[in-house]
Amino acid sequence: MTNSRNFLQTTPVLRRLDPLDRTVFALTLAVWAMHYVMRTMLALMPGDMLVETGSLMARTVASSIGIALCLAIHVLLSKVDSERPWRLLGYALALSFPACLVLTGVGEYVFRYFTDYYTMYPDRWMNRWELSETYKAYQWNFFAWCALYAAARNVAEVRRRDQQLADAHSAAQQAQLLALRLQINPHFLFNTLNTLAGLIVLGRNAESEKMVLSLSRFLRYTLARTPSQLTTLADEIGMLRQYLEIEAARFSDRLKVTWDIPADCTRAMVPSLVLLPLVENALKYGLGGSERLVEILIRARREDGHLILGVEDDGGSTHGNAGGGLGIGLSNARQRLAALYGDDAHLDSGPLEHGWRSVIRVPWQADQVLESAA
């Protein structure tokens, strides 16, 4: 039984048709069903003797043969380049002429088998005039099918190109985001390891162990996230706490961090590591440009269908160009937001009277699990 199932699953005839094949099959059925209906309605005209079960059966068989011939033309043309629809239409029309001749000849024998029409009118058997009329009726049907077939192939080609363009754009976007994420500042690791070495030399084992654990969690989080991945603000804040614990060991009592994160904002979805360059720049330029205690305020709020994230410090520095931070920097952060959200997201950054403020505005998108739980 298992072998039988495997055979059925791998038999080419039983494989699912692709969208183009399904479209061609559907339009072929429609064309020949319309032909069948029209021929049957003509047979209902007064004086016509072909309204009987045999003639209906003969017409059904002839239409089925027409369907098979159209599908055979599709198979023959499946390898033909569909980027030039007029050439494809020409090939289809060229193949329709011999197909129509075959159907006309076979159709005569089908009607002779299922009906007594040619017994009643023997002089009409293989009559040239009747054959020409039958041929013209079938040929117009083939013409209609060829036009619809070329149009369907052209539409499928346009959709294929659009999908390729979308895939290429997505791949380029992913490559751009990855390139931005790979711009990692090695000074962070160097400074962290130097601080850790100093703590070990001083015998401050508890602080060293805490710093190693924070660094491990921070690196695990940053390395596990893909460039376009969204995460909850709660996870992003957890990562920032690990990062700031590491930096607090370096800056000792010169750093104060204040959090203003409402509980309802923690379930919002944000790009991974979106706040990291803002906090890193606050540390680099705020603390680097001051010898006193510097406070960094990290806040979030929901406003008009958007999530507003802010990082500000009172270090008194203008932050220079604020371009070289851990990972991507402010300019690259703008590029990343543009790649993910287009014009729906913004990063504004500028000086305060004493310090610097950076604000990110992204569309509100809540985690579905946390949203339902709330």
Asked whether the beta carbons of 40 and 56 are under 8 A apart, the reply is yes
Q: Using CA atoms, how far apart are residues 102 and 49, in angstroms rounded to an integer?
A: 25
Asked whether the beta carbons of 131 and 108 are under 8 A apart, the reply is yes
Asked whether the beta carbons of 133 and 12 are under 8 A apart, the reply is no
Beta-bridge partner residues of 306: 303, 363
Q: In what order do the strands lie in the sheet with 306-313?
A: 255-260, 294-303, 306-313, 355-363, 346-352
Q: Which residue intervals of 182-296 are DSSP H helices?
A: 186-201, 205-224, 233-251, 276-281
- Reading the chain (374 residues) residue by residue, the pLDDT tens digits are 444 444 334 444 434 667 888 888 999 999 999 888 888 777 666 555 445 777 788 888 988 999 999 999 999 988 777 677 888 888 899 999 999 999 988 888 888 888 877 777 777 787 788 788 888 888 999 999 999 998 988 888 888 888 877 766 766 666 555 555 555 556 677 778 888 888 888 888 888 888 888 888 887 777 776 656 788 999 989 888 888 888 888 777 788 899 999 999 999 999 888 888 888 888 888 877 667 888 999 999 999 899 999 999 887 655 544 444 433 467 777 877 887 888 889 999 888 888 889 999 999 998 765 555 55
The whole-number pLDDT of residue 108 equals 86
Task: Give the SS3 label for residue 335.
Answer: helix
Asked whether the beta carbons of 285 and 252 are under 8 A apart, the reply is no
Long-range contacts of 256-261, Cβ-Cβ distance < 8 Å, separation of 24 or more: 256/293, 256/294, 256/295, 256/296, 257/295, 257/296, 257/298, 258/295, 258/296, 258/297, 258/298, 259/298, 259/299, 260/297, 260/298, 260/299, 260/300, 261/233, 261/237, 261/298, 261/299, 261/300
Q: Using CA atoms, how far apart are residues 242 and 329, in angstroms rounded to an integer?
A: 19
Q: Using CA atoms, how far apart are residues 21 and 326, in angstroms rounded to an integer?
A: 52
Superfamily for the 182-373 domain: Histidine kinase-like ATPase, C-terminal domain (3.30.565.10)
Sign of the CA dihedral 92, 97, 98, 104? Answer: positive
The whole-number pLDDT of residue 259 equals 94
The whole-number pLDDT of residue 47 equals 52
Q: Is 256 exposed, middle or buried (0-12, 13-18, 19+ CB in 10 A)?
A: middle
Radius of gyration of the chain (CA): 37
Q: Using CA atoms, how far apart are residues 327 and 180, in angstroms rounded to an integer?
A: 7
Sign of the CA dihedral 98, 100, 105, 107? Answer: positive
Q: Where are the domains of the chain?
A: 2-169, 182-373
Q: Using CA atoms, how far apart are residues 280 and 272, in angstroms rounded to an integer?
A: 15
Quote the tokens at residue 131.
Answer: 């054959």
Q: Using CA atoms, how far apart are residues 265 and 153, in angstroms rounded to an integer?
A: 49
Task: Give the SS3 label for residue 45.
Answer: coil
